[in-house]
Amino acid sequence: MENYGQGEDQNGQMLSGNEQFEQWSRQHLDLQQQIQAIERRPYVTEADELEEQRLKKLKLHLKEQMNHMLLSQGKATHT
């Protein structure tokens, strides 16, 4: 499991129980698995490449949302 990144595991624990964060984390992992499945194919079509780009953009968007939530949570706990 990719778990969204190394340092994020500790941050993820900080947001453990946050349903939205956990949903995004699961979606992020699912997208990563879909991307890897495309990358493992011996022959990649143009449609596969477009789908891979689309999945990577979605994955990046989720990561940005998760980072924003982590930063917001961090600010809230430090005030």
Q: At what angle do helices 46-77 and 19-39 cross, to 10 degrees?
A: 150
- Position 42 in a domain: yes
Report pTM. Answer: 0.74
- Position 1 in a domain: no
- Position 66 in a domain: yes
- Encode burial over 2-17: b for 16+ CB neighbours within 10 A, e otherwise: eebeeebeebbeebee
pLDDT band at 6 (very low <50, low <70, confident <90, very high): very low
Q: What percent of the chain has pLDDT over 70?
A: 73
Tell me which residue range forms the domain holding 13. 6-77
pLDDT mean over 41-57: 97
Q: Which pLDDT does position 1 carry in this prediction?
A: 39
pLDDT mean over 16-41: 94
